Every structure is written in structure tokens, then in C-alpha cells.
Amino acid sequence: MSVRIEPSILTADFANLEAEVGRIATADAVHVDVMDNNFVPNLTFGPRMVERLQAVSPIPLDVHLMISDADRWAVGYAELGVMSVTFHVEAATDPVGVARAIRAAGSRAGVAVKPGTDLAPYLENLAEFDQLLVMTVEPGFGGQGFMTGMLKKVADARAAIDAAGVDVWLQVDGGISLETIERAAAAGADTFVAGSAVYGADDLDAAIAGLRAAAERVHRH
């Protein structure tokens, strides 16, 4: 099982984003949180900022949409050429249709669930998605503590992915650090979003390598 580390630029210096993404070139992707101050009580940036990041980033962009009306807006982000677009099932009336539109536009299609959302209804359509994101904090703000109660949801998702025999990345986002990544990896996650654990470190490359090594160590055993 491959391990992917994706630093979140939510904790980066917004005034120097080109330089900030350059500092994480050893990561697998840049995790870009798009918030609309409607679906979540925070406002970050929209398609024009993502388009500029796509133009200057040395590694692929994994866009996480924390916005309302994903049916209308999600495909536009895929059309910018990013690696993947993840939308929340709580913000979509037709998750499968949205995922198909994202794929048709050339991006990987991801679906995310909040901590309080039942995962079961979406496990029946795993083949329609390329990534499943289990939030391990309430979406909206960085720096929150890891919700250990979500580990069972991660494990249930891993069991369903394995049983279906599909190539779906299992991502966790929220409170990921050296202390929590091992538990998330043991539950079956393979793709990890880390904010302050990377951007708060003195040596970003070392922080990325440390997180990767910790998750890989769990998977090997």
C-alpha cells in the first residue's frame, strides 16, 4: 500500500504561496482547501487562486471543496487541470453524477464525509470515486485535534474498499501528526493531509519524510 503525504496550505503563508508550495516539493501533492463561508464558517480562496497555484506548483494539486452546491461548482475546478477534486457528499444532490463530471474533465474524483455523516450509503458506489476522504476534525479550520472516534469509520472504509477490489485512495484530514498518523495508518488510511505538522516544522522536508516513514512502518507490519 503506497503512502501519500499531502501538506495543507491552509497553514502556509498566504502572502507567499508560490514560495510555500515550493517548500513542500518532496510531498506527493498540495492539499488546497477551498471554503466559501457557507458550507463551513471560514473563507479561503476560489478558482482563480487555484488556477495560479496550479501554474506554479512543483507537485500536483489535490483540491478539497468545502463549499455548497458541489453539483454546480466542482467540475470547474477539475477543468483547471488539477490532479484531483474532492467534494462533500453533504453539499451534493447527485454525488455519483458530480464524480463522473470531474473524471470526464480529467481529474480524479474524491468524495468527503464530515465526522457526523454516515459513510455506509456511499460505500455501495466506491467504483465511482478515486478517493474517499474521512474527516478527522470538523471541516472549516486548521489546527484542530484529531478525533479518535473516526478511526472506526476509516477502518470500515478500508474494509469496504478491499472487499470491492477497487483502487480508491483512503484519505484522512485533520489533526494528522507524528502522534496520530500511525493510528490512522493502522486503521487503513493511505493518504494523509497534514497542516501544522509540516508547515509548523523548522525543516519541512524532514517533517514530510518523518510522517511518511511513520505510516510506511505501520503498513509494513
The catalytic residues are 33, 173
The answer to whether residue 221 is domain-embedded is no
Number of domains in the chain: 1
Alpha helices in 94-191 (DSSP H): 95-104, 120-123, 151-164, 181-187
The answer to whether residue 169 is domain-embedded is yes
CB 176 within 8 A of CB 196: no
The CATH number given to whatever domain includes residue 49 is 3.20.20.70
C-alpha cell at 10: 491552509
Upper half-sphere CA count for residue 166 (Cβ side, 13 Å): 19
Amino acid sitting at position 113: V
The answer to whether residue 11 is domain-embedded is yes
- Tens-level pLDDT at each residue, the chain (221 residues): 799 999 999 989 989 999 999 999 999 999 999 999 998 988 898 999 999 999 999 999 999 999 999 999 999 999 999 999 999 999 999 999 999 999 999 999 999 999 999 999 999 999 999 999 999 998 876 667 899 999 999 999 999 999 999 999 999 999 999 999 999 999 999 999 999 999 999 999 999 999 999 999 999 98
The answer to whether residue 90 is domain-embedded is yes
The answer to whether residue 15 is domain-embedded is yes
The answer to whether residue 187 is domain-embedded is yes
Integer Rg of the chain from CA? 16
Order across the sheet with 61-66: list the strands: 4-7, 191-194, 169-173, 131-135, 108-113, 84-88, 61-66, 30-35
3-state secondary structure of 196: helix
Domain that holds residue 96: 4-215
Tell me the C-alpha distance between 193 and 132, whole Å: 13
pTM: 0.96
The answer to whether residue 220 is domain-embedded is no
Of 77, 81, 72, 22, nearest in space to 47 by CA: 77
The answer to whether residue 48 is domain-embedded is yes
Place of cell 495560479: 52
